[in-house]
Amino acid sequence: MESLCGLTLGADPEGFWDILEERRRSSDLSHALRTFNPQHYCRITTSSSSTINRTVLKSQYLRYITQEIAEETGEPVELVREEAAGILEEMAQNLQLGFIRLLAFSLSKTFKRLFSSIRVNEEGLSRLQAAIKDHPVILMPTHRSYVDFLVVSYILFTYDLPIPVIAAGIPLMGMKLIGEIFRRSGAFFIRRTIGSDKLYWAVLSEYVKTLVRTGFAPLEFYVEGLRSRTLKSLSPKLGMMYMILEPFIKGEVFDISLVPISISYDRVLEESLLTHELLGVPKPKETTMGLLKARKVLEENFGNMHVYFGVPVSVRDLANGKVNRSQYNLVPRDLPLKPSEDVRVFVGDVAQRVVRLQEQGMVLSPWSLMALVLIQYPEGLDWDLLTQKTLWLKGLALCYGARLDWPEQVSNLEMMSSHLALHHTVARCEKGRVLLVEEDGLHGAEPVSEEEGVLRRAAVVLICASYRNQALHVFVRPAMAAVAMTTASSVRKLDVFSQFRFLLDVFANEFIFIRNNAEQDFDQACALLQRSGAVCADEHSLNVTEEGQTTLHFLQTMLEPFIQTYKMVFRFLCESNAQVFTERNFTPAVRSFAVKLILSGELQCYECLSSDTQKNAISALLNIGAVTKSRVSEQTEFSVNKAAVMRIADTLDGHTPSLMISHSRL
């Protein structure tokens, strides 16, 4: 079968093509050394990295800011400019085709060992090719693994598309040799927390804006800001998003195309490390030695990967009627301007929409559905029951519009058994019963303390939960409506909606919802519940059907670990003697509170140990106003309004009408 650039590749019924198939049949060296002649942006003004750097340093914007900083600090302006040049030198990429070829060769070898297939939607690449010619393009992939940025560049190279420049966290720069190879493969390095460093913000934003204005190359950045430890989408970071959109907002480019990219893994390379971070184990430092030591991962199989290139989104279309760009006609475009309220809202809205599109492009593996069932049976369940429930769930997922990797020509038994085998480190079938498998600890199979036992159990539960999380975006709206139906004061749609809206507020950091979209979310939730026959609705009420009990119960149980974790955090805040917590102490203190509750038998939910969910619970309280945040002597502190937290906990239980909470905004 033919692909975009004439390669012979394997297609599956969903329109995905396995790019490794060709690699398994022909020389990796010829692939790496083949003619590479991509079509660039039609108005590209430079293809030289050093010209980009010079343009940044000479820009009016940077001159203005360096002058301003010199006046504020009393430093000579030349010194400030030198500092700016130093920051730029640390940051700038230096893309060279030779390094791309080198990596193309090594990655072909590595990917073939790690993955059974890498499937790419070719029509998405054709759309991307067209978009690249017309406007500056921003590639926005999901971030679940270090493999993400490698595979995106690899695919673009394979399909003869321009190699992107990529915003990379600075720790990667520190890796001996690898850091430099990455820089020459298009990475530009940014500090992880910039805080109030005015000069750094200025250099970074001018650098990013120059890349966009000149159309030097597609710009790739990870709007979630880090790899999601839970495999669930993270709330987007807005700093870089703002810089990228600014050239359009200020009328310097006609349009910008944002391309969401959804990367779905059957099995994530870093599954165990990422999960342990959720339990408080520090992330290993990125070093070349660490990478070499990790090479035993090459002995494992990680199944299939799907990379879905979404439909390019026109920023111009999104901005229509939402941003008043004429306000920028009155001031020179080079001068810094604080973003107006409409721009701030717009940037956040764009980022949320892209993350939603990323979710919609994700491909679910059978294991993800199996994990959804398995996690609801912590003591394990019979294989037959797992099969029956997973197949039922497959039907529900399809009914809710999920993109599933479940080929019809393979039997269900074969599909499920092979996926269980792929995840042999997490679950196993013994005597017809499927059970979660705990990893051995540092000191062998037996835990040395009760606490270690809890954390070990939590590790495997959290890995399983992360694969469940891959599918949550498909179910979260109907699941929230299902929960709202149990706690609402009546079956009247108005009452259920008010409870639903409260849940949206509480879980705003947990799941991706677009701001001010509650009514559409609710309508969609009701429509899906109706479509699956779980409820029948008329204009004013929602009623559970007889056969809908099972669906509703399943959906409610799906959200239970999140509800339990939030309640546990609320309880911790209310029972603690202190009214104020430092950010640093919060997670360890909540963790030991949760471990105690589990050991005492008061809490059965091991997912409550996830620091990610605990932090989201605090963020929810901050958003609602029940907790406030302040900086006190270099530390972030949370002050808790215990009465407000209790009312939220009550509403979550359905004891207090949600309207009171939403309207008073506490």
User: Which parts of this chain interact with ligand 13P (CB under 6 A)?
Assistant: 146, 169, 171-172, 226-227
Q: DSSP string spanning 62-113? A: HHHHHHHHHHHH---HHHHHHHHHHHHHHH-----HHHHHHHHHHHHHHHHH
User: 99: which residues sit within 8 A by CB, 6+ positions away?
Assistant: 181, 184, 185
Token output for 148:
């993400």
Of 224 and 521, CB closest to ligand PKZ: 224
Of 238 and 559, CB closest to ligand PKZ: 238
Q: Which does 66 bind (CB under 5 to 8 A by kind): ligand 13P, ligand PKZ, none?
A: none
Shortest distance in whole angstroms from residue 170 CB to ligand PKZ:
8
Shortest distance in whole angstroms from residue 178 CB to ligand 13P:
12
Shortest distance in whole angstroms from residue 445 CB to ligand PKZ:
36
Of 154 and 562, CB closest to ligand PKZ: 154
Shortest distance in whole angstroms from residue 291 CB to ligand PKZ:
13
Shortest distance in whole angstroms from residue 224 CB to ligand 13P:
9
Place of tokens 């480019």: 253
Of 23 and 227, CB closest to ligand 13P: 227
Backbone phi, psi, residue 65, to 5°: -65, -40
Q: What is the DSSP secondary structure assignment for residue 490, as one 8-state letter?
A: S
Of 124 and 141, CB closest to ligand PKZ: 141
Backbone phi, psi, residue 447, to 5°: -65, 145
The candidate with the shortest Cα–Cα distance to 223, out of 207, 241, 200, 205, is: 241
Q: Please report which residue ranges of 185-339 form alpha helices under DSSP H.
A: 198-214, 239-249, 271-278, 288-293, 315-319
Token output for 531:
């479509």
Q: Which does 115 bind (CB under 5 to 8 A by kind): ligand 13P, ligand PKZ, none?
A: none
Shortest distance in whole angstroms from residue 330 CB to ligand PKZ:
21
Shortest distance in whole angstroms from residue 191 CB to ligand PKZ:
7
Q: Which does 367 bind (CB under 5 to 8 A by kind): ligand 13P, ligand PKZ, none?
A: none
3-state secondary structure of 438: coil
Shortest distance in whole angstroms from residue 246 CB to ligand PKZ:
9
Q: Which does 302 bind (CB under 5 to 8 A by kind): ligand 13P, ligand PKZ, none?
A: none
The candidate with the shortest Cα–Cα distance to 104, out of 59, 156, 139, 52, is: 156
Q: Which does 201 bind (CB under 5 to 8 A by kind): ligand PKZ, ligand 13P, none?
A: ligand PKZ
Is the separation of the CB atoms in 141 and 261 below 8 Å? yes
Rule CB under 6 A: which residues touch ligand PKZ?
A: 100, 103-104, 107, 143, 149-150, 153-154, 157, 166-169, 172, 182, 185-187, 190, 193-194, 201, 205, 221-223, 225-226, 237-240, 242
- For the chain, the C-alpha Rg in angstroms (whole number) is 26
3-state secondary structure of 175: coil
Task: Report the distance separating Cα 417 and Cα 366, nearest Å.
Answer: 10
Q: Which does 221 bind (CB under 5 to 8 A by kind): ligand PKZ, ligand 13P, none?
A: ligand PKZ
Of 169 and 441, CB closest to ligand 13P: 169
3-state secondary structure of 369: helix
Shortest distance in whole angstroms from residue 1 CB to ligand PKZ:
23
User: 651: which residues sit within 8 A by CB, 6+ positions away?
Assistant: 487, 502, 657, 658, 660, 661
The candidate with the shortest Cα–Cα distance to 187, out of 270, 87, 90, is: 90
Helix (H) or strand (E) holding 179: helix 178-184
Residue nearest ligand 13P, CB atom distance = 169
> 609-635 in b/e burial notation, b at 16+ Cβ within 10 A?
bbbbbbbbbbbbbeebebbeeeeeeee
Of 174 and 336, CB closest to ligand 13P: 174
Q: Which does 91 bind (CB under 5 to 8 A by kind): ligand 13P, ligand PKZ, none?
A: none
Residue nearest ligand PKZ, CB atom distance = 239
Shortest distance in whole angstroms from residue 462 CB to ligand 13P:
16
Of 147 and 559, CB closest to ligand 13P: 147
Q: Which does 559 bind (CB under 5 to 8 A by kind): ligand 13P, ligand PKZ, none?
A: none
Of 120 and 190, CB closest to ligand PKZ: 190
Q: Which does 103 bind (CB under 5 to 8 A by kind): ligand PKZ, ligand 13P, none?
A: ligand PKZ
- The burial class, CB within 10 Å (0-12 / 13-18 / 19+), for 546 is exposed
Place of tokens 């019809």: 408
Shortest distance in whole angstroms from residue 149 CB to ligand 13P:
7
How many C-beta atoms surround the C-beta of residue 216 within 10 A?
25
Of 64 and 146, CB closest to ligand 13P: 146
Of 221 and 467, CB closest to ligand 13P: 221
Q: Which does 536 bind (CB under 5 to 8 A by kind): ligand 13P, ligand PKZ, none?
A: none
Shortest distance in whole angstroms from residue 166 CB to ligand 13P:
10
Q: Which does 374 bind (CB under 5 to 8 A by kind): ligand 13P, ligand PKZ, none?
A: none
How many C-beta atoms surround the C-beta of residue 78 within 10 A?
10
Of 107 and 459, CB closest to ligand PKZ: 107
Of 95 and 476, CB closest to ligand PKZ: 95
The candidate with the shortest Cα–Cα distance to 141, out of 222, 61, 208, is: 222
Shortest distance in whole angstroms from residue 565 CB to ligand PKZ:
24
Strand intervals (E) in 267-412: 304-309, 313-314, 363-364, 381-382, 403-404
Q: Which does 153 bind (CB under 5 to 8 A by kind): ligand PKZ, ligand 13P, none?
A: ligand PKZ
Q: Which does 238 bind (CB under 5 to 8 A by kind): ligand 13P, ligand PKZ, none?
A: ligand PKZ
Q: Which does 159 bind (CB under 5 to 8 A by kind): ligand 13P, ligand PKZ, none?
A: none
Is the separation of the CB atoms in 57 and 210 below 8 Å? no
Q: State which amino acid sits at residue 253.
A: V
Of 233 and 499, CB closest to ligand PKZ: 233
Shortest distance in whole angstroms from residue 156 CB to ligand 13P:
18
